[in-house]
Amino acid sequence: MICADDPHFALRHQLVQFARTKGIKAAARHFGCFRNTVRKWFRRFQDQGNAGLRSQSRAPKSCPHKTKDALENRVVTLRKKSPGFVARRLIEEFGLSLGHNAAQRIINAHQLTRPPKRRHRRKNDLWAVKAAYVPFTRFQMDVKYLTDIPFYWPQMQRNGLPRFQYTIRELSCGAQFLAYSNELSKTYATLGVARFLQHLRRHGVDTRQVIITTDLGSEFDGDTVHYRPEGFHLTIQQSFGAEHRFNPPACPNANADVENVHHTIETEFFDAQVFSSNADFFAKITTYQLW
pLDDT at 221 (0 to 100): 93
Segment 253-274 mean pLDDT: 90
Environment class of 237 (CB within 10 Å of its CB; exposed 0-12, middle 13-18, buried 19+)? middle
Q: Are 227 and 236 in contact (CB under 8 A)?
A: no
Average pLDDT along the chain: 89
Q: Tell me the backbone φ, ψ of residue 169, rounded to 5 degrees.
A: -120, 125
User: How does residue 121 score in pLDDT terms, banded at 50, 70 and 90?
Assistant: low
Give the Å distances, CA to CA, from 60 to 5, 56, 118. Answer: 22, 12, 39
pLDDT at 230 (0 to 100): 93
User: How does residue 124 score in pLDDT terms, banded at 50, 70 and 90?
Assistant: low
Cα separation, 9 vs 246, whole angstroms: 67
DSSP-based three-state secondary structure for 63:
coil
- Torsion angle, alpha carbons of 247, 249, 251, 252, to 10: 90
User: How does residue 206 score in pLDDT terms, banded at 50, 70 and 90?
Assistant: very high
111: left (phi over 0), alpha (psi -120 to 50) or beta: left
Whether residue 3 is predicted with pLDDT greater than 50 in this model: the reply is no
Whether residue 125 is predicted with pLDDT greater than 80 in this model: the reply is no
pLDDT, tens digit, 9 for 90 and up, residues 38-67: 999 999 999 998 888 888 888 777 777 788
pLDDT, tens digit, 9 for 90 and up, residues 226-263: 899 999 999 999 999 999 999 888 776 778 889 989 99
Least confident of 6-15, 18-27, 43-52, 174-183: 6-15
User: How does residue 155 score in pLDDT terms, banded at 50, 70 and 90?
Assistant: very high
Cα separation, 89 vs 81, whole angstroms: 13
Cα separation, 42 vs 12, whole angstroms: 9
pLDDT at 123 (0 to 100): 47
Residues 6+ apart with CB under 8 A from 77: none
pTM score, whole prediction: 0.64
In CATH, what number does 126-290 get? 3.30.420.10
Most confident of 64-68, 134-138, 160-164, 286-290: 160-164
How many other C-beta atoms can be found within 10 angstroms of the C-beta atom of residue 168? 21
pLDDT at 1 (0 to 100): 41
pLDDT more than 90, % of the chain: 69
Alpha helices (H) along 123-176? 126-131, 153-159
Cα separation, 105 vs 67, whole angstroms: 10
pLDDT at 2 (0 to 100): 42
pLDDT at 10 (0 to 100): 86
DSSP of 216-265, one letter per residue? S-GGGTTT-SS--TTSHHHIIIIIH--EEEEPPTT-GGGGHHHHHHHHHH
Cα separation, 208 vs 214, whole angstroms: 18
Cα separation, 265 vs 270, whole angstroms: 7
Whether residue 132 is predicted with pLDDT greater than 60 in this model: the reply is yes
pLDDT, tens digit, 9 for 90 and up, residues 178-203: 999 999 999 999 999 999 999 999 99
Whether residue 119 is predicted with pLDDT greater than 60 in this model: the reply is no
